[in-house]
Amino acid sequence: MSTAPHDRRSAGLTGPVRLGLIGDNIKRSRSPDLHRLAGRLLGLDVSYDLFIPRDMGKDFDAVFDACRDSGLRGINVTYPYKEMVASRLRIDDDLTRRIGSVNTVLFGPRGASGYNTDHTGFIAAYRETFGDTAPGNVCLIGAGGVGKAVAFGLLALGAEALTVVDSDAEKARSLATAIATASHGAVKTSSSDAIRTAMGGAEGVVNCTPLGMIGHPGSPVPPELLGAQRWAFDAIYTPVNTLFKRQAEAAGLEVLSGYELFFHQGIDAFGIFTGQVPADLGALRRMLLETPPN
């Protein structure tokens, strides 16, 4: 189980726990189920609502303010607002500040605090699937909010080299530079806007773009470029069985599903919100599988 940067004993909760998620394309998110079921296992009355700014006719800031002012305990934030929200928060953790992306917000007496459980969740998911095997030379596609969290996760997991690919060349260069700085040059980094060049020599390939998500069909990698790598990860989990995931499996790669990131980041977020997590995560997994999606 991964560890979130929060004292889980300090929540001191009484009464209902009101939570939510702000993002686009989240109508099929399983986050409400995960948090409500985790609460049930702990005897907590947890509610978890979805907030889609464009459907509400409001911008992100207005929706964020409404969540804060309506008494929610906390919110998760997903695409495309993870970087935007960071500037509105108190971030005590130096690593989260360096990542520059937040997916978990806790509202408290000291204001709104930001955390990144994509980072801790990815590390836990990777280790659960691949054990102690280091990532090696990795091609990471997508330098946005989740891409930043995963890049720093790859650094923590002992990646040897990292090539960052993004259609925004400046974003790719900025993230590659941040990883080089954080590793004091121990991780070879580069950036590119060309997938074919970046995939050369890669042992792992990671999709942190929206491609494959509901409303964003497609795959970031031409299938003919897959096969020489050892492993792949797709950050998308709605749907779980993305085109990129299917292509990587067909090419013989061992694939880490975005569902695993979803599960582990959600557990870490729940720990931040409530101060505790279910002891039996296997039971929570089974309950999620048995609960029909909304």
Question: Which residues does the annotation mark as catalytic?
Answer: 81
Question: To which residue do tokens 């929610």 refer?
Answer: 72
DSSP structure class, residue 256: E
Asked if 238 and 29 touch (Cβ cutoff 8 Å), the reply is yes
Q: Measure the CA–CA gap between 176 and 4, rounded to whole angstroms.
A: 25
DSSP 8-state code for residue 228: S
Distance CA 106, CA 218 (A): 34
Residues 82-105 as b or e (16 or more Cβ within 10 Å = b): bbbbbebbebeeeebebbbbbbbb
Provide the 8-state DSSP code for 173.
Answer: H
